[in-house]
Amino acid sequence: MNAVDEIRHLYNNTTKTTIQRDLTRAVALLKTLETEEERERVAVYMDGLSQMRSEWGVRPAAEGGKGPAKAGKPGKK
């Protein structure tokens, strides 16, 4: 399967549980595309994946793989 087809597959098969992994993989695949035409073809899928992540309230993991940091309440320790 080529990168364009794999991005399309990720878009069609992602779930709330897999969206962050799928979007990360799609970005990696996007970086391998050599032509502007290929990038234009996958733009709609990339946008769709991003929109799904936002709608489902999934946040990207913090760098270092430890997940998002939790903010404390102001003035409390």
67 is a domain residue: no
Say if residue 76's pLDDT is above 60: no
- Is 26 inside any structural domain? yes
Which among 46, 48, 58 has a CA at the least distance from the CA of 18?
Answer: 58
44 lies in some domain: yes
Whole-model pTM?
Answer: 0.75
Confidence (pLDDT) at 60: 80
Nearest in space to 6 (alpha carbons), one of 35, 28, 20, 18: 28
- Domain containing 44 equals 3-55
User: What pLDDT does residue 73 have?
Assistant: 45
How does residue 70 score in pLDDT terms, banded at 50, 70 and 90?
very low
Q: Residues 4-31: pLDDT tens digits?
A: 999 999 999 999 999 999 999 999 999 9
Q: How many domains does the chain have?
A: 1
Give the pLDDT band (50/70/90) at residue 35.
very high
Q: For residue 62, is it within any domain?
A: no
